[in-house]
A and B are shown apart, each in its own frame.
Chain A
Amino acid sequence: MTVTAIPAPILGKRGEKSRTKEVRAAPTLAMRRLALSVRNPRALVLPVMNPVLFALVIAPALANTVAGPAQQTTYMTFLALATMGLLIPLNSLFFGIGVVVDRQQGAMRELLVAPIRRSSIVLGNMMAAIAITSLQTVVLIGLSVARGADYVTSTHVLWFVGATLVYTVLMYSVAEVLATRLPTAEAYTAAIPVVAIVPFFFAGSLFPITALPGWLSAIAKALPLTHALALFRYGLTPSSGVRALHNIWGMTNVTAMAVLSAAVIAAYALLAFVAAVRLFTKAGTS
């Protein structure tokens, strides 16, 4: 065998080189996460199954049962949008299982010795979670339209898109925190219903929060999902959205209320993201 020397490494020292490497790290890791997800289609289908079932079957049936003929479409649309409040948390939390698996039997330690910041690892996972959630959102909204939901297309849609993104950042950060703190996949899976489903019932998904007893409606106003749902509604069904925002803020300036609710979920998302990065970084060098 001829012995050929392998050329000296092209190493990312400080400055330009390492910065470009750092910028590329998160997308690289997002692609890895997506590649792993594609190999495990069940993990993609499971979290979207409940919301789809809800939007396609339960929402129309409920609407038929409770609403008078004139209100049926409106209520069905109301419920179909509520489904977003299940889809994003379920999907983000199912996605976070990947982090537990990485740690227990995957390449986590290889990532931890890579010359990249710990935050890039969290960010990479999050980018993949956002990609998948966006895709599922499109599927869900598309299906509910096919089933007869009545959305208004206007520039308000941007509120829907923005709220979806920020709420996904929040829920995925929560997922990272849980994945970093909980020791096993079992403990993590057990936490999913509590975190993803319980808030759903109090956040103005099936009925306005004004229907709740006073103290519960105060709690509901503090839940980020309440604000996210109000913005989803404001984006695709503005008149129902205005009511939801008014139920929270009681103000007359609609844009101000929307901005306030957006600020609330953004603040939650920022806090959760910082916590996720901090905890992950701490766990990465024990």
Chain B
Amino acid sequence: MSLFAGPVRPLTRELNVTNNEEKINDRITDPHDPGRMTGAAAAVAAEELAKIYPGDIHAVKGISFAVEAGEAFGLLGPNGAGKTTTIGMLNTTVKPSSGRALLAGRDVTRDPIGARSVSSVVFQDAVVDRPLTGRQNLELHLKLWGVDTSVGRRRLAELTGTVGISDILDRPVATYSGGQRRRTEIVRALLSGPEVLFLDEPTVGLDTRSRHDLFDVIGTLRERTGVTIIITTHYLDEAERLCDRLAIIQSGTIVACDSPARLLASIGPEVLELRTDDAAKAAAVLRANGVEPDDVVVIGQTLTASLRAINGARALELLEDGNVPARSATARHPNLDDVYLRLTGGPILSPADRPE
């Protein structure tokens, strides 16, 4: 397979993960032959995928990753990062400008129908026939994917029961709530027994309760079907909760790719968050005491620093000794937002975008 011959390019910017012996690339290189990617056996493999839309819009700038069968892989990034475009190239509805991708070994450009037959998509916004009933929408999927009638009937009963939509199946989808519609779409996607399931921003527009219900539903369905999942999101909690591994994507480029735990570990054990009128001075004090420049991010009057060389208590002491005017200061455990901030120099969500 020419796609996987030749030297492996580094997939992501390497992280300063202290306790990380296993580099990111190891996950997709064959341990017995490091020069060869095991991507051919991977459920999803993307190599240098790029998309330039008309008008010279570089939406995706050559991204590579491989996802193992059964893995849940997240594309995490702000609106406009290129997540939907990436999913579009993988599901054959967006033509890559360059690069290649395989779904369960099928090339999305050369064998689009083959690639589509092993995958299903839950789109970012509703893609259903609203006047038709849930059952009609589901049965259409079964027929189009050529699922054997009795197998299809059994799966339909089982999956709709699992996610609790059996009672509403014979109502027009137009009468469903947002959460019910999403469940219907997820069930529909799984009816064909796909090897790869794409979920594009699955919980956008849902209330908190429905979001959490949906996390549970996705988790359950994953256990039951063993399907490989590619999920895009701009919600950190969602990424952390649903994904085994995350690619943080920023302006069409993957800036980091690892498990949520190891991404968090890359930040160090503690994070200092300081509200101050003199962020420059605070930053200078911290740097003078061994905090790496890359580990300090200033946005407005808020300074965030990942602490490795010194702990939180010591950092607060130093700031006090240095007469830094602080309005509030806390040392806390890091979260994915900190990882994101450190990698991109900005928060993933503007306050208005945060889920309630």
Chain A positions within 8 Å of B, measured between CB atoms, are 1, 3-14, 17-18, 20-21, 24-25, 28-29, 32, 35-36, 39-40, 105-117, 284-286
Contact = CB atoms under 8 A, between A and B. Distances in A.
B193 A6 contact: yes
Contact of A40 (B127, B131, B190, B220): B131
Contacts, number: 124
A5 B158 CA distance: 11
Interface residues of B, number: 48
Interface string B180-209: 000000001010111100000000000000
Contact of B192 (A9, A40, A117): A9
Contacts of B117: 11-13, 18, 115
B191 to A, nearest CB: 10
A112 B93 contact: yes
A32 B148 CA distance: 19
B306 interface: no
Interface in B24-79: none
Contacts of A11: 117-118, 146, 193
Given A108-B127, A113-B116, A12 B93 contact: no
A35 B132 contact: yes
B137 A107 contact: yes
B165 to A, nearest CB: 16
A95 B92 CA distance: 27
B93 A113 contact: yes
A269 B8 CA distance: 52
Contacts of B93: 109, 112-113, 284-286
B136 A35 contact: yes
B121 to A, nearest CB: 5
B148 A10 contact: yes
B194 A116 contact: no
26 contacts: A3-B223, A6-B155, A6-B224, A7-B193, A9-B118, A9-B195, A10-B193, A11-B146, A17-B146, A20-B146, A21-B146, A32-B129, A39-B131, A39-B172, A105-B130, A106-B129, A109-B123, A110-B141, A112-B92, A112-B93, A113-B121, A114-B116, A114-B144, A116-B113, A285-B94, A285-B112
B211 interface: no
Nearest to B126: A105
Contacts of B192: 9
A115 B192 CA distance: 11
B233 interface: no
Interface in B97-112: 112
B20 interface: no
B192 to A, nearest CB: 6
Nearest to A6: B225
Nearest to B148: A10
A199 to B, nearest CB: 32
Contacts of A108: 127
A110 B127 contact: yes
A32 B132 CA distance: 9
A25 B193 CA distance: 18
B129 A107 contact: yes
B137 to A, nearest CB: 7
Contact of A18 (B113, B126, B132, B220): B113
A113 B130 contact: no
Interface in B283-337: none
A107 B224 contact: no
Nearest to B116: A115
Contacts of B140: 28, 32, 107, 110
B136 to A, nearest CB: 6
A65 B4 CA distance: 80
Contacts of B153: none
B144 A111 contact: yes
Contact of B145 (A115, A117, A286): A115
B95 interface: yes
B112 to A, nearest CB: 7
Contacts of A113: 91-93, 116, 119-121
Q: Give the one of A3, A6, A117 with max B CB within 10 A.
A: A6
Contact of B127 (A7, A28, A36, A109): A109
A126 to B, nearest CB: 17
A110 to B, nearest CB: 5
A24 B119 contact: no
B143 interface: yes
A285 B95 contact: yes
B115 to A, nearest CB: 8
Interface in B147-164: 147-148, 151, 155, 158-159
Which 9 pairs of residues, A with B, have the shortest CB-CB distance? A9-B193, A21-B146, A115-B117, A114-B144, A39-B131, A115-B116, A12-B146, A28-B143, A109-B127
Contacts of B130: 105-106
